[in-house]
Amino acid sequence: MQTEEVMQLAEEKLIHTYNRYPIVLEKGNGIRLYDTDGNRYLDFGAGIAVFALGYNNKEYNNALKNQIDKMIHTSNYFYNEPAVLAAKAITAASGMDRVFFTNSGTEAIEGAIKLAKKYAYLKDNSTDHEIIAMEHSFHGRSMGALAVTGNYHYQEAFGPMLSGVKFARFNDLNSVKELVNDKTCAIIFETIQGEGGIYPATKEFMEGVKQICDEKGILLILDEIQCGMGRSGSMFAYQQYGVEPDILTCAKALGCGIPIGAFLAKEEVAKAFVPGDHGSTYGGNPLACAAAVEVFNQFNKFNVIENVKTVGVYLTERLNQVVHDYEIVRERRGMGLIQGIELTVNPKDVIAKCLDNGLILFAAGTNVIRFVPPLVITTGDVDEMIEKLRKVLDEFI
């Protein structure tokens, strides 16, 4: 199909929930994407923090092809080896004890909420427990995930929301303390707020919330759907704080393109679920889990996290220089290879111009450009990105 034909058919047949750029992407290789008109793009979006290993990775592709030839799906009424191997890898990497595999991040949040509520129910047979979430957070667009997403714009047409959710201010420990009561069963937040504008949790906030949870018997749920799987410079961002959650959610780079998510829990919490409490037809199927197994294999084989640490420092330095050189760039925030710069101009205008110059970036919040490239990028790739970004920023001076 020709480019215009693809776009026209999409506008006619797809439900309009995205304002797409007028580009039809056709293929990828390494950290580059190519459209149907032959244009090449340096990808610093990674499919929204998904393609950690880059595109057309031969070992990853072969792992999927081999699994397709064996078995794609059975059901959770039977065991399958890839699911067991993926569970072993992710529990070892996270320090959690048990995992439930889902098809997406938002489903992982749904499962985490259910598990927290069931755990609380078993303690007092009450169903009026409350959850504390954070303002400006984003956890997904299904109804439970939406209820703990601290952005009224996403919620307003879909009420009433799940009851018993209160919102504190991220990185404001006192605002959390003010909301805690005897009904509070869980506190949920992103270790690094992504859609809200790339705001890492402070050490004081992380330690303070964990102390509240331990003292009050409240579960700590950390959402690392976007910032997990090595992106921060450790396998999971919370590991840099010396704080462990009771429940963890993960997705995106877990499958590097194959839809898979997960929620994990400590043993005491996980055993609150019994057969019939939760399920998923596709969750944990052999193909998705084979993808996750190969992702962990490659993280280990190619020292991906060490690369994130090295290149993340370099990206930080180069972005800090951009902040220094341009008055329209207010601030840089982030960790490792999840970074953002706050602008005084509309980031969508800058992103559109970058696209014209062969650079893919995404926005976060209302005034932030987000940098979430594949985790295998080099310092040379950073230099190329900065050159393109500066060329565009010059047009806004």
Q: Domains of the chain, with CATH numbers? A: 3-56+303-396 (3.90.1150.10), 59-301 (3.40.640.10)
pLDDT band at 336 (very low <50, low <70, confident <90, very high): very high
Residue 397 reports pLDDT greater than 90: no
Q: Rounded to the nearest 5 degrees, what angle is found at the Cα of 166, between the Cα atoms of 165 and 169?
A: 140
HSE (side-chain half, CA atoms, 13 Å) at 25: 17
- Report percent pLDDT > 90 for the chain: 99
- The alpha carbon torsion through 180, 146, 207, 118 (nearest 10 deg) reads 60
CB 252 within 8 A of CB 227: no
So what's the pLDDT on residue 125?
A: 96
Report which of residues 1 and 374 the model is more confident about.
Answer: 374
Beta strands 261-265 and 199-200, pairing class:
unpaired
Express each pLDDT in 1-12 by its tens digit: 999 999 999 999
Beta strands 32-35 and 40-43, pairing class:
antiparallel
Mean pLDDT of 305-323: 98
So what's the pLDDT on residue 300?
A: 97
HSE (side-chain half, CA atoms, 13 Å) at 362: 22
Helices of type H across 14-133: 46-49, 58-70, 81-94, 105-124
Residue 130 reports pLDDT greater than 90: yes
So what's the pLDDT on residue 205?
A: 98
pLDDT band at 209 (very low <50, low <70, confident <90, very high): very high
So what's the pLDDT on residue 367?
A: 96
Which stretches does DSSP call E strand in the chain? 25-29, 32-35, 40-43, 98-102, 130-134, 165-168, 184-190, 192-193, 199-200, 219-223, 247-250, 261-265, 329-335, 338-343, 359-360, 362-364, 368-371
pTM: 0.97
Mean pLDDT of 39-68: 98
- The alpha carbon torsion through 181, 184, 190, 191 (nearest 10 deg) reads 70
